[in-house]
Copies of this chain bind each other. A is one copy, B any other.
Amino acid sequence: MIETPYLLFLGDAPDPLAAKVAQGIKDWRPENCVGQLRLEGCKADMKLPDMTLAEAKAAGAKTLVIGVANRGGMISQTWKKVLVEALEEGFDLASGLHNLLREEEDLAAVAKATGQNLWDVRIPQVKYPIANGEPRKGKRLLAVGTDCSVGKMYTALAMDACMREKGMKSTFRATGQTGILITGDGVPLDAVIADFMAGSIEYLTPDNDDDHWDIIEGQGSLFHVSYSGVTMALVHGGQPDALVLCHEPTRTHMRGLPGYQLPTLEAVRDVALTLAQVANPACKVIGVSINTQHMGDDEALAYCAEVEARLGLPTVDPFRHGADRLVEALAAY
Q: Which residues of B contact A99 (CB under 8 A)?
A: none
A72 within 8 Å of B by Cβ? Answer: no
Give A190-248 interface residues, CB cut-off 8 Å to B.
190-195, 197-199, 222-223, 225-233, 235-237, 239
Given A228-B232, A236-B229, A275-B271, the answer on whether A191 and B198 have CB atoms closer than 8 Å is no
Tell me how far the C-beta of A227 lies from the nearest C-beta in chain B, rounded to whole angstroms. Answer: 7
Q: Which residues of B contact A223 (CB under 8 A)?
A: 275, 278
A257 within 8 Å of B by Cβ? Answer: yes
| Contact present for A257 and B132 (CB under 8 Å) | yes
| Contact present for A197 and B194 (CB under 8 Å) | yes
Q: Which residues of B contact A135 (CB under 8 A)?
A: 259
A249 within 8 Å of B by Cβ? Answer: no
Give A65-111 interface residues, CB cut-off 8 Å to B.
none
16 intermolecular pairs with C-beta atoms under 8 Å apart: A131-B226, A132-B256, A133-B254, A133-B259, A135-B259, A191-B193, A191-B194, A192-B194, A194-B230, A197-B229, A223-B275, A223-B278, A225-B236, A225-B239, A228-B235, A271-B275
Chain B residue with Cβ nearest A190 = B195
Q: Which residues of B contact A279 (CB under 8 A)?
A: 225
Task: Give chain A's interface residues, CB within 8 Å of chain B.
Answer: 130-135, 189-195, 197-199, 222-223, 225-233, 235-237, 239, 254, 256-257, 259-260, 263, 267, 271, 274-275, 278-279
Q: Which residues of B contact A226 (CB under 8 A)?
A: 130-133, 195, 198-199, 236
Given A236-B229, A278-B223, the answer on whether A194 and B193 have CB atoms closer than 8 Å is yes
Question: Complex formed: what's the CA distance from A193 to B197 in Å?
Answer: 9
Q: Which residues of B contact A225 (CB under 8 A)?
A: 131, 133, 198, 236-237, 239, 278-279
**Residue with the greatest number of chain B CB neighbours at <10 A, chosen from A132, A233, A260:** A233
| Contact present for A228 and B271 (CB under 8 Å) | no
Question: Complex formed: what's the CA distance from A257 to B135 in Å?
Answer: 11
Interface contacts beyond A191-B194, A228-B235, A229-B232: sample of 11 additional A-B pairs, CB < 8 Å, sorted by A: A132-B256, A133-B257, A135-B259, A190-B194, A194-B229, A195-B227, A195-B230, A198-B225, A225-B237, A228-B278, A232-B232
Question: Complex formed: what's the CA distance from A235 to B223 in Å?
Answer: 11
Tell me how far the C-beta of A72 lies from the nearest C-beta in chain B, rounded to whole angstroms. Answer: 15
Q: Which residues of B contact A237 (CB under 8 A)?
A: 225
**Residue with the greatest number of chain B CB neighbours at <10 A, chosen from A135, A257, A267:** A257
Tell me how far the C-beta of A229 lies from the nearest C-beta in chain B, rounded to whole angstroms. Answer: 4
| Contact present for A134 and B259 (CB under 8 Å) | yes
Question: Complex formed: what's the CA distance from A232 to B274 in Å?
Answer: 14
